[in-house]
Chain A
């Protein structure tokens, strides 16, 4: 009993400041969004939309406990709801621009405090994790979660606002982003399936049959070109990265040349961003703004970005090659 008492505070703290706890808290936020959506008569698809966010909440809360097949089926359910057009925006408890301006007069720069709490807590917890010899990366994520919670508390205190209005404002932003929210998670999963199907090997095979494996410059060129092309196709460098990393970067560059993996991995990722600047597939970045600003040319943003994207892509190739040579 005494031993139990002595041990439990530490283990309680450990459980409290864990990734699973932060995931569970995010799940609770999603459930609150979902409950408000079910009650939102201004949303023509409130049942479907509510079910979508409830399901994501379940995966956040129980994702580490559920059998993987069940999570997989829940993901397919969410995608089916979205595919059937059952996820939509609703009506929110919003205030007018004039009211925003009046509040800005009242609060001034103090309104930045809750927003700044998020990065501060994030870094704070990451540093504490590092000092205690734990994984600082997990610490940053745990910090982000508790930063979000602290910012909510700080914001309510500072503005004197209502918790219900706050959650509705959060729901407004979440619905505005919509099902695009889960796209990074889905694309990451697609990358895992691509890896299991050995797509990377196939592409690497194609590249090796064309490029001599001892020519570092041509391999770097193929790596960055593959990344950019994949990003152009997918509209997103995140989906391209696992494929290129598995097929080209690791087997053809990192392993044979003994290169620092962190150095080339991050440059490979941003080589993909150069592709994203050139593609209409990245609709949220390149097409949505033309709609937001009523531009005449749907490809006006891409045309403006093209010279920049081609230049910075070329510099990626040169930089990666030079850094491998120097370090």
Chain B
């Protein structure tokens, strides 16, 4: 069997996700297939499984043993569950409403500037060690409505129905993107974050002891670049629309 057959595991992941199968199932199937194709036994030959035919090979750790050990080692990535009751309680007592009031007090005149502020707000989450996907709690209930309000003010429109459909679609995309930019590149700024822990664990496995704080330190340049690039994209986003509105007004005047 040629060695590249082992890459079948990667193919399983690609095909499985493309077909929208359960991600957890696809990942475990890929792990089992890859291990078996590499000639790794299912179980270690120890304890009650000692010298079990077919399922074990003497002296080789088994796939299921490796899976169990790694899953237990990586519990630190799922530790955030212990923070959920407190966050849920705060939401019950108006956390999101109060956040909205706080954000509304910051006068942001344009759609683009609002996205810049939101991206920074999400980087702040990263620094505080809070990891979350902000589309449900922030973008849909807060950032998107506020962006639409800003767009209405800019265009002199009375309601969202007066805005061009494409404009509203673009605002949706921009708000979703600012969430991802702030989340992805801001989340490595605290040593408790899962990404930092993953790098730590992986590098330790490869024989390099690195400190979480030095990882945080070296994450700063990319985070800075990500903020500048985001600001640039959102500034251009604003400018494009300002020019279009100006052009349309000019055309109206000519008519």
Contacts and interface: CB of A to CB of B under 8 A. Distances in A.
Given A75-B68, A197-B34, A184 B194 contact: yes
A306 to B, nearest CB: 10
Contacts of B176: 286, 289-290, 293, 301, 304
Contacts of B77: 184-185, 188
A276 B207 CA distance: 28
A292 B77 CA distance: 26
Given A144-B79, A169-B89, A83 B199 contact: no
Interface stretch (A6-14, A213-221, A239-247): A239-247
Interface residues of B, number: 123
Interface string A147-179: 111011011101101000111111111101001
A265 interface: yes
Given A68-B72, A161-B93, A190-B27, A184 B78 contact: yes
A304 B177 contact: yes
A208 interface: no
A270 to B, nearest CB: 5
B70 A192 contact: yes
A140 B213 CA distance: 11
A233 B6 contact: no
Nearest to B62: A69
A322 to B, nearest CB: 10
Contact of B25 (A79, A111, A191): A79
A119 B173 contact: no
A100 B141 CA distance: 13
With a 10 A CB-CB cut-off, give which of B28, B35, B136, B229 has the most chain A CB atoms: B28
Interface in A59-114: 59-60, 63-64, 66-76, 78-80, 82-83, 85, 94-95, 97, 100-109, 111-112, 114
A305 B177 contact: yes
A118 interface: yes
A196 interface: yes
Contacts of B158: none
With a 10 A CB-CB cut-off, give which of A102, A186, A286, A323 has the most chain B CB atoms: A186
A261 B192 contact: no
Contacts of A137: 191, 197, 200, 211-212
A119 B90 contact: no
A104 B101 contact: yes
A311 B211 contact: no
Contacts of B37: 197
Contacts of A126: 191-192
A144 B82 contact: yes
Contacts of B44: 68-69
The 3 A-B pairs with the shortest beta carbon distances in the complex, nearest first, are A169-B88, A104-B94, A71-B68
Given A69-B44, A103-B93, 12 more contacts: A112-B95, A140-B129, A145-B82, A170-B86, A179-B23, A196-B38, A202-B3, A238-B195, A250-B206, A262-B215, A305-B177, A308-B233
